[in-house]
Structure 1
Amino acid sequence: MPSHRRPAAVLFDRDGTLIVDVPYNRDPGRVEPMPGALSALERLRRAGVPIGVVTNQSGIARRLIGAEELLAVNARVDELLGPFDVWAVCPHDESDGCGCRKPAPGLVLRAAAALGVSARDCVVIGDIGRDIEAARAAGARGILVPTPRTLPAEIATAQEVAGDLADAVSRALPADDPTDAVSRMTAAGTAAPPDAGPRRDTGSPSSSGSSPSSSGSSPSSGPRPDTAGRPVAESHPDAGARP
């Protein structure tokens, strides 16, 4: 159901949520937005809600994808669906024991800190249980958007389950938000606008300033802007299939 409080930010998982999941993808040409992703993101932008990406990319640690290859894939995501206000990326494998890899709360906490908001006032939208567990661990609200790879147990234990990205955003935004034209049209019984297609390249992607760390998982001492002036959480690229 729609929230009665406006979120400070909405943070999205990448693979299987914003784009079609291609395990350990190193080819920007294979980036394909999930149905409804662009229109859902544009609704949040029109409402003035900051949006970010929080993604596990263990392919870096597993040497299945290079850091520059990941940055190129993230740049394509930014080109098609951006700009995003923050990217927070974990390059670690499960065995690294880091604090940023979902379901740990580190990515959510880092993204919130980069935006200057409390994680408790954020919404996290993802397609698997570890996304929702990371939200819960950070004190954020988690909304699950199931896909064929979502396990039944993950759906059963989720705090909140949405039918698709449009539904997830409707739940995240206040029902009476005057900036949300889609909610107003839905209430009036009119059709919502379809996705407008790929966005033009707005410049350097938010991920351009991020680089993988060779060891450790300590959070950044603070956000730093990318070349387009958007904050980038000091986390690291990771290639996202389900670990």
Structure 2
Amino acid sequence: MSKPGVLLDRDGTIIVDRGYVGSVDRVEFIPGSVEAIAALNEAGIPVAVVTNQAGVARGYYGIEDVHLVHKHIDEELARHGARIDLWLFCPYHPDGVVKAFARASADRKPGPGMGLAAAQALDLDLARSWVVGDSATDVGLAAAVGARALYVGPPNSADPDVASFPDLAAAVEFILANPDASTAGGPHAVPRRFPAHRFDRADEYGGAYASELYRAFGGVDLTEVAKAAEILLDAYQRDAAVFACGNGGSASIANHLQCDHVKGVRNGTDLTTRVFSLSTNMELFSAIANDLGYDQVFEYQLQSMARPGDVLLAVSSSGRSPNIVRALDWARANGMRTIALTGFEGGPARAMANAAIHVDATNYGIVEDTHQACMHLLAQYVRQSRMTVDAVVSQTF
């Protein structure tokens, strides 16, 4: 089971920030930091260091110098019975002069890359983990990965929404005394959001977007995907109808689903599926909205076309759209099986559906991109399940 951990900044948190510390002779431990790390070790809490090292990109020192500094810190920690479980650093900077490192990177804080890598390597539950550092980039990393932020350093530089401590020793004392604190008066539980700050370069934003998309898709509960696949395959084998619906960008996913789950699924299989999008017929859609109200645009169509045993697949980033909730409620009350694709907090739709594919993200683009991928993988899974092994490996998906 995933566990909480602590992600520490390096310069200004563990050692004195002298500006681009790239050699052992410039390492000076902040009083109490070694003992604080030892206390985390003693409590069984994994400790990772996540540090921006733009000095590599700027040509002030090399990759090997960073490793030597970390080796020296490890040796000093070991003398006091302390250890770092994982070292992560980002040598990239878009304004660097060393060509190999002169680029944007989603690993560079406040980008999420190093936080996600730490979670994967140490099996961390980021929502229960802490990011401790002395700058806004550390608070931004916490926001980007949904962890809890603690600030250490001069109080005049602290974010008013983040608990502030004079040094790492005080912050760790708080963590050990309040492992589950996340309310006002304790460390501020920063909601996962993307973007967590403004980007000045499209390539940097693109890298961060890709990392967030990877995180969001990786967090999808695949047991719910399996439930949805079983519901769809069963419906197609029984010649039951499948109805899809959504608003805005989610409507385009519902429309695309009709294409892939009819044309795509039939390609190389014995299935002739009956799939309909309730978001396509603008004449009918607008007539219902105009005469009866927008909340009924999907429910009204189901009343005319759906039968017990059919399936409704509802796509809603928020899971709260009234017309989606009404459609799911009607479907459930009239013998239909239901699938919901949701994001954000999931809303009522997530709780109502027989299978709920939920995306833990608060960015509409990320949620919709993940929903689109899930729509595709469901179609492709159904298709390949009705093909021979030879056909699967010989055809293009």
8 A Cα contact 1:112 1:118, kept in partner: yes
Q: Which residue of 2 is the match for residue 79 of structure 1?
A: 75
What is the 5 A alignment of 1:78-97? Answer: 78-81=74-77, 82-95=82-95, 96-97=103-104
Distance 1:158 1:16, change over 3 A: farther
Matched with 1:68 is 64
- Name 1:143's counterpart in structure 2: 150
The CA deviation at 1:124 is 0.8
Letter in 2 for 1:129: A
Decide whether the 8 Å contact of 1:112 with 1:122 is kept in 2: no
Contact 1:100 1:107 in 2 (8 A): yes
Q: Contact (CA 8 Å) 2:38, 2:83: kept in 1 or not?
A: no
Counterparts of 2:70 and 2:33 in 1: how far apart (Å)?
A: 15
Per the TM alignment, residue 174 of structure 1 is displaced from its structure 2 partner at its CA by 3.7
AA aligned to 2:59 is R
| Cα displacement string for residues 19-76 of structure 1 (whole angstroms, at most 9, x for unaligned residues) | 0112222321221111110111111111111111000001111111111111111111
- The 5-angstrom pairing of residues 1-243 of structure 1 reads 8-81=4-77, 82-95=82-95, 96-147=103-154, 152=156, 154-175=157-178
Quote the Cα distance in structure 2 between the aligned partners of 1:133 and 1:89.
16
Q: CA deviation at 1:175?
A: 4.5
Q: How many correspondences in the alignment?
A: 172
Report the residue type matching 2:114 in the other structure.
L
C-alpha separation in 2, matches of 1:174 and 1:94: 40
CA contact (8 A) 2:5 2:125 kept: no
SS at structure 2 position matched to 1:161: strand
TM-score, normalised relative to structure 2: 0.40
For 2:158, what is the secondary structure of its paired residue?
Answer: helix
> How far did residue 158 of structure 1 move?
4.4
Moved over 4 A (4+): 216-219
Larger RCO, structure (CA 8 Å, separation 6 or more): 1
Q: Secondary structure at the match of 1:59?
A: helix
Instruction: Specify every segment of 5 or more residues in structure 2 that has no aligned partner in the other structure, as ranges.
Output: 96-102, 181-206, 215-397
CA RMSD of aligned residues (A): 2.5
Query: Post-superposition shift, 1:132?
Result: 1.0
Q: Which amino acid aligns with 2:110?
A: P
- Give, in angstroms, the shift of residue 156 of structure 1: 3.4
> Residue 198 of structure 1 corresponds to which residue in structure 2?
none
Tell me, yes or no, if the aligned pair for 2:37 and 2:83 is still in contact at 8 Å.
no
CA contact (8 A) 2:13 2:167 kept: no
Post-superposition Cα deviations, 1:86-123, rounded to whole Å, max 9, x if no partner, equal: 11110111442211111112111111111011222211
Change (3 A) 1:99 1:175: closer
Q: Distance in 2 between matches of 1:176 and 1:94?
A: 37
Structure 1: unaligned runs, 5 residues or longer: 1-6, 178-215, 222-243
Amino acid at match of 1:83: R
Asked whether the equivalents of residues 152 and 171 of structure 2 are also in contact (C-alpha less than 8 Å), the reply is yes
CA distance in 2, matches of 1:42, 1:109: 24
Q: Do the aligned residues in 2 keep the contact of 1:143 with 1:158 (CA within 8 Å)?
A: no
Are the aligned partners of 1:33 and 1:80 in contact in 2 as well (CA < 8 Å)?
Answer: no
**Which piece of structure 1 moves more, 132-141 or 113-122?**
113-122
Larger Cα-atom Rg? 2
1:63 is paired with a residue whose SS is: coil
The answer to whether the Cα contact below 8 Å between 1:132 and 1:158 also exists between their aligned partners in 2 is no
What TM-score comes out, normalization by structure 1 length? 0.64
Aligned AA (1:111): A
- Whole-Å Cα distance in 1 between the matches of residues 74 and 140 of structure 2? 26
Q: Secondary structure of 2:130's match?
A: strand
Q: Structure 1 residue 171: deviation in Å? A: 1.9
- Could you tell me how far apart the structure 2 residues matched to 1:172 and 1:16 are? 19
Distance 1:73 1:65, change over 3 A: same
